[in-house]
Structure 1
Amino acid sequence: MSETKNGSFLWVILAFAAVYIIWGSTYFFIELAVKYLPPPVLGAVRFFASGVIMLIWGMLRGEKVWDRSALLPSIISGILMLFLGNGAVIWSEQYLHSSFVAIFMASAPLWFLLLDKFNWKENFSNRYTLLGVSIGLIGVIALFYEKVSLSSFGQGILPLVILCTANISWSIGSLYSKYRAKQVSQTMNAAWQMLAAGAAFAITGVVHNDFATVDWATIPLKAWMFILYLVVFGSIIGYSAYVYLLSVRSVTTVSTYAYVNPLVAVLLGVLINKDHLSVLQLSGLAIILCSVFFINLAKKRSAKALAT
């Protein structure tokens, strides 16, 4: 299938599948992995490994590695998204369940709408986009109504504040990557973002003496399997797909992953942890899918309007 400026249709479909499904599962695997490694160590291992693999892959394909004008935007967006954004998720999952963390990250589409200054006119004038975002939030509330209770908030307000900050940082980093990191291939862009985040995690781990507290010999094989999943599927496949989508689709459309990820997180809880899924939560899943439909409908109508 031929490529267009909006990306190959097949690659776009596969990329959305990766971001929707794989990223939803990473919340679950982060919760498992952080039981064995401190957050800075987990982040350093995950993103250094995935970054090096992506860098080698790009070099084998003959892509340009060193480009100072393109390197800085990749590093900045990597720090904002992976170190601050994903790092907050890793830290928070020491205290909150993965499905609970997913609901707070589901507000990302709102931040994208508010912070995407270049598309304010289109976003705030399109009733389908606004309707889709509003419906999505309603679905998330229904999906996790039982979890968002006074008892949940009693676990401490700090993780919730950290997650809200992470959402803002992730949104800013995504927008920065979309509009500033244009002179570098998507492979190299993702690679340098991961390496920058890995370096930031490593520095944090050294300063906090986290590496010295890890008894590497006692880490079980299953923990390494969790980390391997995060490296291969969460970072190399999932994150690379996300960076690619940012380059070929609007951030509003791409941000619909935040509504589907909680759905995947809940299903994993049901299938693996035998969590109970109530009628209200099933209704939330259906509402979330409706929100994705309206947001994509808005983009299709905009594309048709531009074509006429």
Structure 2
Amino acid sequence: MTQHRSSLIQCPNYTEAHNLTRVSEFHLMTLSEDPDLQPVLFGLFLSLYLVTVLGNLLIILIISSDSHLHTPMYFFLSNLSFSDICFISTTVPKMFMDIHSQSRVISYGGCLMQMSLFIFFICLDDMLLTVMAYDRFVAICHPLRYHSIMNHHLCGFFIFVSFLFSFWISQLQNLIILNFDYFKNTEITNFFCHPSQLLNLSCSDTISKNVVMYFVGAISGFLPLSGIFFSYYKIVSSILRIPSSEGKYKAFSTCGSHLSVVCLFYGTAIGDYLASAASDSPGNSTVASLMYTVFTPLLNPFIYSLRNKDMKSALWRIQNRTK
């Protein structure tokens, strides 16, 4: 076991000294202390992980192998599937190792790396959903100019900016955490290094923590969400001007899968953020994090495959070619 370096210092706005630890490792929370449940949990989450990875890989394979899907919308969707694979891989494999080895320890460097990757792929998902909303806006509001606007150069630029923005946000959060040298304890009440919980453990005043959380949340969440709202405001306004109900349904149906994924992503994200930042119950925080980190990337392939006629037609064509 790695030794901790401890020192007695006084936190800002505290009237008495606290034993604070300059840590070299953290201890994650287990999903269950019952030994009989460990194999069940291991098998359950391994199955969910494999289904998520294979489902998103299938979407990437279908899009890359069918020329009918070589369009901006499906180009962004393949990148979203890749991001979802990486997103779930930042937290769940470590949970497998903890269940198998009965160990809850993660090094300080490993914790920062996991947190950084977690934030990076959250922001990447966020940015890709925003770009996909803009793509739907152009397709519905400017259909005659769609191919000239959404050209290969603009699509590549959007992907580059999404990766660059996500990297900047993740490194910004890392730099903020690195400025907190001391922590009140090493117990993280979640199955991975959640950014808001690391902030809560740090030896800094409440105002500083809130400023950091709201600032990063506003940049990484509010700005992209504003872009999505603006795009759908324009989309709905354009659809309402269509005279026939059949035309309205056809136009709105092209947004159905994307809108479902947006609601799922932001619904679970807000729940996870509120539970981790405000809830005193570790169980509530863990359930919210599981919904966000496991079930969101799991359900995305099913939403796009079951609700999308183009994807089902492409899968049918691939099956016929294989036969």
The TM-score with structure 2 as length reference comes to 0.31
Q: Which has the higher contact order (CA 8 A, sep 6+)?
A: 1
More helix by share: 1
> Which entry has the higher C-alpha Rg, 1 or 2?
2
Q: TM-score, with normalisation over the residues of structure 1? A: 0.32
Higher strand share: 2
